[in-house]
Amino acid sequence: KTHVMHFTSSRPLPTSPVLIASNPIETEKSTMFLGIKIDPKLRWDQHIAMIKRKISKSIGAISKIKYLLEVSTLKTLYYAFVCPYLFYCIDVWRKAARCHLNSLIKAQKLCCRIILNAHPRSESSPTI
């Protein structure tokens, strides 16, 4: 389970392998650490894609049962199955590029529209 990851912004990566007791340690391009997908440049695009896949499954389940449950129960499901993925270790990855975060914002808005039985293209920002 031991591997090496070199964190860099633009410098070339070292070519010599890291050795422990004369055994080379495998270099990884990304890794999971405490449920967070980390890459060498800390771009968070892989982590956000992983979160989106996970919450998409929950949104699909909520969508299928929305006709059987009340809005308050659907909100509870949202807080149980979607929010934990969105807020887990957010202090670490919240500074990701806006283009990556937009996919999570869109998924969250879709879930809210499903819960409220709103049209998929209805306005989501407050109006004045």
- Note whether 93 and 36 are within 8 A (CB): yes
Does residue 74 sit within a domain?
yes
Does residue 106 sit within a domain?
yes
Does residue 21 sit within a domain?
no
> In the chain, how many domains are there?
1
Q: What is the pLDDT of residue 42?
A: 83
SS3 at position 115: helix
Residue 60 has pLDDT above 90, yes or no: yes
Q: What is the pLDDT of residue 13?
A: 67
Does residue 124 sit within a domain?
no
- Identify the domain containing residue 110 by its residue range: 43-115
Task: Please tell me whether the overall predicted TM-score, pTM, comes out greater than 0.75 for this model.
Answer: yes
Does residue 26 sit within a domain?
no
Does residue 90 sit within a domain?
yes
Does residue 10 sit within a domain?
no
Tens of pLDDT, residue by residue over 28-59, are: 888 888 889 988 888 888 999 999 999 999 99
Does residue 7 sit within a domain?
no
- CA-closest candidate to residue 114, choices 66, 80, 68, 77: 66
Q: What is the pLDDT of residue 51?
A: 93
- Binned at pLDDT 50, 70 and 90, residue 72 comes out as very high
